[in-house]
Homo-oligomer: A and B are copies of this chain.
Amino acid sequence: MIIVMGPGHSVDQRDAAIKRIEELGYRVSPIIGVERTVLAAVGHEDKTPLQQLESMAGVEAVIPILKPFKLASSEYRDTRTAIDVKGAMIGDQHLTIMGGPCAVESEAQIMECGRVCRDLGVPFLRGGAFKPRTSPYSFQGLEVEGLKLLRQAADEYNLRVVTEIVSVNDVEPIQEYSDVMQIGARNSQNFALLKEAGRSRIPVLLKRGMAQTVQEFLMSAEYILSEGNENVILCERGIRTFETATRFTLDLNAVPVIKSQCHLPVLVDPSHGTGSWQYVTAMARAGIAAGADGVVVEFHPHPDKAVSDGPQSLKPAKFAQLVDEVTRLAQCMGRIVE
């Protein structure tokens, strides 16, 4: 059972609710967010006595939830959530394409990518400024300089910036220069970072960990939601299996599974999911057909010269073809392409 304290509730009201829950014999886990506070009450099997809290001042709702994730659950919200990012909608009936290079490498490169997105009507420019690299000897990203270049390209071509955060200490610059904060697969259970993202003011694109079950993935989303940030976009990007023909195994089964249990938007990333440019378009189509709310795709003006992830990056012409195929498929399925 969760008790939601509404916007504008006072500390006294919250403390009164906590006191009442404890008097009724339950333990309380309060999650105090910027916008909203949630009191998770655990204890007896019989949760009916908690219903009485609905009449208390400051309490917005008392919600019985059986799933371990609460705010992410379809039981908590039974309509599909759409998230507004500067006028571009993600989720519900909308279909979203995000594109760009693995890493921001130079002004020329990112401006070129921005121009491609603008020309194709792709509203989101993705690119890494802080890079989580397996090797400490690999290129670690242009950092704040990269963020500024992303912003410059986005402003020039009227795009929204999606970029990855890798440290709790980088929230400020990420918020300043970008529109969506990505948490990557390797940080999908970095709970300190999830909590920080939950306290931030911009939407979070949360990628599934490569060994994370769908349920654990939704629990990671719950960390962000429970801190008060309601704008979470999920992204399937491939799991680790025995198969070596692809770099990871893009698990499209996760799409209908998530949609049956959770109201948040779900994107798929066929670039990281397959690790090979030649399979990206087919799997982007498949993701949309499975019901995903969009795709995140890596392209690069010159994949053979890319500092990272060249083999999985499309050339601009192939990316244009992907945008075309995905758009037609989405229309065939009755989606609104952003």
Residues of chain A whose beta carbon lies under 8 Å from any beta carbon of chain B: 29, 31, 40, 42, 68-70, 132-137, 166-169, 186-187, 189-193, 195, 209-211, 213-216, 219, 222-223, 226-227, 239-246, 249-257, 259-260, 273-274, 278-279, 282-283, 285-291, 328-329, 332-333
Contact = CB atoms under 8 A, between A and B. Distances in A.
A279 B250 contact: no
A252 B223 CA distance: 30
Contacts of A211: 209-211, 239-240, 242
Given A134-B219, A211-B239, A211-B240, 13 more contacts: A29-B136, A70-B137, A134-B216, A168-B168, A168-B192, A211-B242, A243-B253, A250-B253, A252-B283, A255-B282, A259-B282, A288-B289, A329-B332
Contacts of A214: 243, 245
Contact of A253 (B134, B240, B274): B274
Contacts of A190: 166, 186-187, 190, 193
A323 to B, nearest CB: 15
This chain: how many copies in the complex? 4
A252 B290 CA distance: 11
A242 B241 contact: yes
Given A166-B192, A273-B253, A260 B278 contact: yes
B137 A40 contact: yes
A29 B308 CA distance: 16
A257 B245 contact: yes
A192 B167 contact: yes
Contacts of A69: 135
Contacts of A255: 282, 286
Contacts of A70: 137
A179 B190 CA distance: 23
A217 B328 CA distance: 33
A61 B257 CA distance: 46
Contacts of A259: 282
Contacts of A241: 239, 241-242, 249, 251
Q: 10 shortest A-B CB distances, which residue pairs?
A: A211-B211, A289-B289, A167-B192, A186-B189, A286-B290, A256-B282, A332-B332, A240-B242, A285-B289, A211-B240
Given A186-B190, A286-B289, A329-B289, A68 B135 contact: yes
A134 B215 CA distance: 10
B273 A282 contact: no
Nearest to A268: B286
Contacts of A283: 252-253, 256, 290
B136 A189 contact: no
A183 to B, nearest CB: 11
